[in-house]
Amino acid sequence: MKKPSANVGLLKESIFSEMTMKANQLGAINLSQGFPDFDGPSFIKDYVNEAMEGPYNQYGPPSGAMALRLSLGEMYKKIYGLSYDPNNEITVTNGATEGLFCSFLALLDPGDEVILFEPYYDSYLASIQMVGAKAKPVTLRGPDFGLPIEELEKAFTDKTKLIVLNSPHNPTGKVFSKAELQALSEMIIKHDVFVISDEVYEFLTFDDHKHIPISSLPGMRERTIMISSSGKTFSFTGWKIGWCLASEELTKAIRMVHQFNTFGAAHPLQVAVSKAINKIEDYLVPFRESYQKKREILYEGLKKSELQPFLPEGTFFILCQIPQGKNKTDVEYCFELMESKKVAAIPPSAFYSRSPEEGQKYVRFCFAKKDETLRSAVINLLEAKG
Ligand code: PMP
Ligand code: GLN
């Protein structure tokens, strides 16, 4: 018998749904997989019902419902001053995950090298492996997880085709500063490579931290595929409506892959998301305030526990250091936490391939949860301390 694809044989199973399943089995409070334990606003759900009464129940255009592409074009102009043409520079995908997959396929040939920062969202490595390209991870290290410029410079070779950036960054909560993005973009231009910029947490930043799209920096627009999603912003992660913004040339390549991958995303949901985006400026004010409070509840609680949390600048995750004397890997620690304290978290070594021992030092908690869920989790964690 012949065997399935060797490239597919390289892939690891995604840890996220496994942890959610285990948390449910054990009745643990689930702060593992990144999704809210509450629904987004009911006015957005009403938009879906309305769309299902209208002419939106059949295939839409593969590049995305025009209403959504128009809303996205307006939003990115208003918020960041970025101008993308809805006709040929914006593509709607099934979540950011499909946008990422199509972008990797659109840009890479077998043997190309891709620089990515570890810890990284697991779909990047999988997409790179499926194409038969080679990942070159560069490790971000605590406590500040800043750009390791020298190491990064060494990672470039004449085979480097692209670099993957994720800011705000899952799982560290780091928001890359303007100076860091500038340094990075100079390297990108010097080495003549592309960037896939995963910005799904673009509206989840705290205190004075501001998200800056790398495509807004000089010389970067033509080299960047900017990817985002409605999942985190509107608290409907199960809808899987995402998008890619890129130059006309790159968009053509993305759309080529997308039409034969999924063809299109759920039509009524796209129409609903377009209406939600038209109201985004008012929506974001209470949204950010509620997440600032959630971060506070979990961070203050974790500070009192045996774990040492890093205060996230963005995203809805808190990364914590496991006490050194524990002699436990992140996986062992997470399973112990789930059994004895009934709180589920993510072991971040799943986000590393070059230096997994670095990931073994940490645990990741998600605070996209009701305030009472977070308070109960803190009570459990502190009760278990002694
Ligand atoms: N990128 C990052 C960094 C993520 O954390 C996630 C998952 N939440 C995604 C992409 C996937 O987004 P989507 O659910 O829209 O596919
Ligand atoms: N991005 C989410 C996380 O980091 C999970 C998404 C998924 O389950 N694929 O937890």
pLDDT in tens, 220-257: 999 999 999 999 999 999 999 999 999 999 999 999 99
pLDDT in tens, 185-229: 999 999 999 999 999 999 999 999 999 999 999 999 999 999 999
CA 242 / ligand 1 centre spacing (Å): 9
pLDDT in tens, 266-318: 999 999 999 999 999 999 999 999 999 999 999 999 999 999 999 999 999 99
CA 34 / ligand 2 centre spacing (Å): 5
The mean pLDDT of the chain is: 96
Structural contact between residues 61 and 91, judged by C-beta atoms closer than 8 angstroms? no
Question: What is the pTM assigned to this prediction?
Answer: 0.97
Mutate to test the pocket of ligand 1, among 14, 100, 117, 121 (most ligand atoms within 8 A of CB): 121
Domains of the chain as residue ranges with CATH: 6-40+282-385 (3.90.1150.10), 42-280 (3.40.640.10)
pLDDT in tens, 155-184: 999 999 999 999 999 999 999 999 999 999
Atom 5 of ligand 2, nearest CA residue? 34
DSSP letter assigned to residue 47: H
* The pLDDT of residue 354: 94
CA 243 / ligand 1 centre spacing (Å): 11
What is the pLDDT averaged over residues 3-32?
Answer: 93
Atom of ligand 2 at shortest range from CA of 20: 8
CA 200 / ligand 1 centre spacing (Å): 6
Backbone angles phi, psi at 29, to 5 degrees: -70, 125
Q: Which helix (H) or strand (E) holds 10?
A: none
Q: List pocket residues of ligand 2, CB cut-off 6 Å.
A: 14, 16-17, 33-34, 170
Atom 3 of ligand 2, nearest CA residue? 34
pLDDT at 327 over 90: no
User: What are the structure tokens assigned to 375, written together?
Assistant: 């308070």
Axis crossing angle, helix 122-131 with helix 95-107, rounded to the nearest 10: 30
Q: List pocket residues of ligand 1, CB cut-off 6 Å.
A: 34, 95-97, 121, 166, 170, 198, 200, 229, 231, 237, 240, 242
Structural contact between residues 7 and 132, judged by C-beta atoms closer than 8 angstroms? yes
Q: How far is 359 from 352, CA to CA, in rounded Å?
A: 6
Q: How far is 341 from 193, CA to CA, in rounded Å?
A: 47
Residue 178 has, within 13 A of its CA and on its CB side, a CA count of 6
**Which ligand is nearest the CA of 348, by number?**
2
What is the pLDDT averaged over residues 80-84?
Answer: 98
* The pLDDT of residue 260: 96
Q: Which residues are CB-contacts of 67 (< 8 A; sequence separation ≥ 6)?
A: 270, 271, 274, 275
Q: How far is 193 from 220, CA to CA, in rounded Å?
A: 10
Q: How far is 308 from 143, CA to CA, in rounded Å?
A: 10
CA 237 / ligand 1 centre spacing (Å): 9
Report, in angstroms and rounded to the nearest whole number, the Rg of the chain calculated over CA atoms.
20
Axis crossing angle, helix 371-383 with helix 280-304, rounded to the nearest 10: 10
Q: Give start and end residues of each alpha helix (H) in 209-279.
A: 230-234, 248-261, 267-278
